[in-house]
Amino acid sequence: MGFSIYDFSDFINNIHAFLSETFSPVAGNIIGMVIVAACFLGFIALLGLSLVYIERKVCALFQQRLGPMRVGKWGTAQTVADIIKLIFKEPLMTKDSDKFLFNLAPFIVMIAPVMAISLIPFSKGLQAVDFDIGIFYIVAVSSIGVTGILLAGWSSNNKYSLIGAMRSGAQIVSYELSVILSLLTIVVLSGSLQLSVIVESQREGWWIFRGHIPAIIAFIIFIVASTAESNRGPFDMAEAESELTAGFHTEYSGIKFAYFFLAEYVNMFIIAAVGATIFFGGWMPLHIGNIEFFNNAMDLIPPVIWFFMKVSAIIFLLMWFKWTFPRLRIDQMLTLEWKYLLPLNIMNILLMSIVVLTDFHF
């Protein structure tokens, strides 16, 4: 019972068959879910460690300095040292805070990206869940995070935390509309909400190229709106250091602060993974017309490598975005969404509908 490195379906089916034969059906399913959960938790921990280090180095690159260099070779152990420090740091809590909600908020913020990452197709057959309403599910569970942010700001009994939480709530609710509409533009083109089907529909070419100008506009809006929804610069008004100290997580310390920090980077990975899947074909290789030599050479690169190359490129774009533009004011941020991005998005969907009805796409 062999398997190919290019298709994980046989490998996953072999594991499922082994568990079903060795244990009872219920026990086999539970053990399988535990294995999947352990894999995702390990991946998220590794993701947080690596992305924090990478962003520090990217930031240093744009600011013409070296970044972390002291702990470990080229500073590679700096994030590990930070995690050890946060784990052993005393978890402080203000006297008049709502203790139950204060402790609950970091877990709610962390649960949302963990639920969303389960639908990401890393390669053919390498996907924990494949709902037929995949995009709808990701958008829905990603919205849960704002509840944790609002709870964190309110339960801290700190005016800076409350202001940061209210800003974040307004920001996420506003920009979520543009994220959804930009994704719907490609849903109109592909004809499905299921992520695996959307990836397969790009076998002849990625939608960013085949969808003409509406697909490019949708991708630009998706990147801008997703950055705003994840509270990253230049839209980080919810935790503006010059005004609000640290915004909604001002009163948090230790491992609870680490949850907020980790959730930001996991959300960034999910944004990049969804963008790569919807617009750039996910794990599909790059093909150019009927140039067989080039296309065959691209097919030799494993799909998992293709997926992470695309995700890495979009993550670099998000970091570039953060460390290049100055922070916006809250009125500028909301004006950008309601007066510019939302009307543009609606017109773009209409334009894409015309492209699909006239069969004008490649």
Residue finishing a domain among 62, 88, 114: 88
- Number of helical (H) and strand (E) elements in the chain, helices listed first: 16, 0
In this structure, the answer to whether residues 142 and 42 fall within a common structural domain is no
Selection from 132, 308, 295, 307 nearest residue 205 by Cα = 295
- Domain membership of residue 277 (yes or no) is yes
In this structure, the answer to whether residues 205 and 312 fall within a common structural domain is yes
Residue finishing a domain among 29, 62, 88: 88
pLDDT by residue, tens only, the chain of 362 residues:
333 557 777 778 788 888 888 888 888 888 888 888 888 889 998 998 899 999 999 999 998 898 888 888 888 888 889 888 888 888 877 788 888 998 898 899 888 888 889 899 998 888 888 888 889 999 888 888 888 888 888 888 888 888 888 888 888 888 989 999 999 999 998 888 999 899 988 888 888 988 889 999 999 999 999 998 888 878 887 766 666 666 777 888 888 888 888 888 999 999 999 999 999 988 888 888 778 888 888 888 888 999 999 999 999 999 998 889 888 888 888 899 999 999 999 999 999 998 888 877 66
In this structure, the answer to whether residues 65 and 106 fall within a common structural domain is no
In this structure, the answer to whether residues 155 and 209 fall within a common structural domain is yes
Looking at the 3D structure of the chain, how many domains does it have?
2
In this structure, the answer to whether residues 113 and 84 fall within a common structural domain is no
In this structure, the answer to whether residues 186 and 110 fall within a common structural domain is yes
DSSP bridge pairs for 123: 126
Selection from 256, 247, 237, 243 nearest residue 172 by Cα = 237
In this structure, the answer to whether residues 216 and 116 fall within a common structural domain is yes
- Domain membership of residue 261 (yes or no) is yes
In this structure, the answer to whether residues 67 and 203 fall within a common structural domain is no
- Domain membership of residue 266 (yes or no) is yes
Cα distances (Å, whole numbers) of residue 113 to 41, 220, 245, 273, 294: 11, 22, 25, 12, 37
Cα distances (Å, whole numbers) of residue 256 to 91, 159, 341: 8, 20, 34
In this structure, the answer to whether residues 162 and 291 fall within a common structural domain is yes
* Residue ranges making up the domain that contains 200: 100-357
Interatomic CA distance for residues 160 and 167, integer angstroms: 11
DSSP bridge pairs for 7: 4
3-state secondary structure of 4: strand
Whether 149 and 109 have beta carbons less than 8 Å apart is answered as yes
Token pair 């002849």 in the structure block, residue:
204
- Domain membership of residue 1 (yes or no) is no
Whether 276 and 311 have beta carbons less than 8 Å apart is answered as yes
State the DSSP string of 8-58: -HHHHHHHHHHHHHHS-HHHHHHHHHHHHHHHHHHHHHHHHHHHHHHHHHH
- Domain membership of residue 94 (yes or no) is no
Task: Say how far residue 157 (Cα) sits from the centre of its chain.
Answer: 30
In this structure, the answer to whether residues 61 and 175 fall within a common structural domain is no
In this structure, the answer to whether residues 270 and 220 fall within a common structural domain is yes
Residue finishing a domain among 88, 115, 144: 88
Interatomic CA distance for residues 340 and 282, integer angstroms: 29
In this structure, the answer to whether residues 16 and 160 fall within a common structural domain is no
